[in-house]
Chains A and B, each alone.
Chain A
């Protein structure tokens, strides 16, 4: 009996192979359709000898395209032809700026809200209304006020990442165990030192949970935002390839969006693990 990990890994590979096989079968043309004609003649007649070749690429086509893209990820042949790596970097850059700004705002503000039950209650209705708004709904407002599509995309990332972090920070700070605060009080620890040595470490796991939720949302949103604002980014790439009718490239784009999202989540999960303490 092998370990659970090995068996799970085997099963994963098996499922992947089965999925690819089904995919391949689904897109393979049925061989015996069109009449036996000279291909050149058939073309002139407006029919094809290759039968009903699906526009949907098979797994091998996608793999080949992926390989093409990975071979030279950073080329730049003008606005509509950039390497996939370059596009991803644009998206990641936007997410980092918007998300970073959100961290800078949400953590300190959440901290203050969490420390003051009055502020928590007073601001709660606003947060509850603003939180469920789809980030893309902000887009027209952002475009109108900011008048710059690139900045608007960053604003949308900011506005969607800020709420989970704000709420989690406020909650984490408000829920710090009283006995730890009492320890700080009996040691006559000043407010700044208390904030950094007691409240922050105690609330850190909750704050990181919020940050992890936010990075997930930010990555979901950037793709959609880039489809809207255009220009650069992985979201624009997918949309552009759709306009080019290159489904293989669309699938490659989708795959990479998933991989990058997973990596971002893994980084935050790692951070979260580092600040989590066993009780």
Chain B
């Protein structure tokens, strides 16, 4: 069922991570390598989820992409330019919403808008901010302070703030991990709807397998840290018009899910010692999962043996 293609991850290198490393000085001298020689390409308009256990450095990868951290080695090239610090082209949605608590909802979004368009007039800025507050379904809450909002609403404001500056890339660091399951579901729907309709390029960190399957076009699997690596890139075989309420009836759903869960449960640990022949960190294998052309035996719905792989 699993075919590992020899071809590299898409040739369109909108985001190109080239041999980055992250090392910390260790307690007794020397240094701890979280990851090194990490390569990854993301084409324009693609939604990529990076999945892996805590400590594999996935947040570091995202922070490097954002420009908030500098890699100990290597470079990241975005749209043909090596990144050098944070930029308005790369919006970040933080894990803990990171709203400015002394500003209203409108004030928070308007702050981003006026940072993007410094010469814009007040009405213009507010109009634009309101449009994006509307887009994430928060119309009527413009004057509220973040403290008056629920966790899900705060994260919506964070999303509105990120979208409002029309970034080339959206970077999300486990944006929904602090939310309850219901809210998380609705927000995933919104993010998927907005990103699909705008063709937004997204890199998202998650450790929620189902979230990755629902949202991502490609899922990047990272092995356990320290010295983590990109084990493979899984292409999501589910149809683009997948829906949350019926996604588990898609024929390939459990194939992907089991593959991811298997990886998180065992291969993320053992991969380093059992690298497949010809593994090249510069071109992590692209894995295509899918049912063979002939239909599967009727009415066998695989039992979800493993619950969510969460650390």
Which A residues form the contact surface with B (CB < 8 A)? 179-180, 182-183, 185-189, 193, 197-198, 201-202, 204, 275, 277-279
Contacts and interface: CB of A to CB of B under 8 A. Distances in A.
Contacts, number: 56
Contacts of A183: 94, 98, 100
Contact of A182 (B68, B101, B115): B68
B101 A186 contact: no
Nearest to B99: A183
A64 B194 CA distance: 76
Contacts of B234: none
A188 B147 contact: no
B116 interface: yes
A160 to B, nearest CB: 30
A188 B96 contact: no
A277 B145 contact: yes
B182 to A, nearest CB: 24
Interface residues of B, number: 23
Nearest to B165: A187
A201 B88 CA distance: 23
A278 B103 CA distance: 11
Given A182-B68, A182-B98, A277-B102, 17 more contacts: A179-B94, A180-B98, A182-B92, A183-B98, A183-B100, A185-B67, A185-B85, A186-B91, A186-B92, A187-B86, A187-B165, A188-B87, A188-B88, A201-B100, A201-B102, A275-B102, A277-B147
Contact of A189 (B92, B96, B98, B115): B115
Contacts of B111: 187, 197
**Contact residues of A: prevailing secondary structure:** helix
B202 to A, nearest CB: 15
Contact of B115 (A187, A202, A277): A187
A183 B102 CA distance: 14
Interface in B92-131: 92, 94, 96, 98, 100-102, 111-112, 115-116
A109 B204 CA distance: 41
B15 to A, nearest CB: 16
B203 interface: no
Contact of A185 (B68, B91, B100, B112): B68
Interface string B70-97: 0000000000000001111011101010
